């Protein structure tokens, strides 16, 4: 995998991780804070999980396609 694909996969993993943490906060906030809903920024960060996942898949696929052309 080249440098470009490695950067894409790293960024995708970071985005996915932030999204997962936001999802956990979304569900844990009402449990730990006596029914209070999560702040708006938590709702805004939750879409990063699927965005990171899709970006990671695209990065890996493009890296494999580029690797096949090098052979």
Q: What gap in Å lies between CA 39 and CA 69, rounded to an integer? A: 47
Digitized pLDDT (tens) for each residue of the chain, 71 residues in all: 678 888 999 999 999 999 999 999 999 999 999 889 999 999 999 999 999 999 999 999 988 887 767 65
pLDDT given at position 70: 60
pTM, entire model: 0.84
Q: Which positions ≥6 away from 9 have C-beta within 8 Å?
A: 1, 56, 59, 60, 63
pLDDT given at position 20: 97
Phi then psi for residue 14, to 5 deg, are -65, -45
């Amino acid at each position: 995998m080249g440098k470009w694909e490695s950067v894409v996969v790293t960024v995708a993993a970071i985005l996915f991780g932030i999204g997962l943490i936001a999802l956990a906060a979304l569900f844990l906030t009402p449990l730990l804070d006596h029914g209070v809903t999560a702040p708006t920024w938590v709702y805004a960060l939750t879409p990063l999980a699927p965005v990171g996942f899709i970006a990671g898949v695209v990065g890996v696929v493009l890296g494999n396609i580029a690797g096949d052309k090098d052979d």
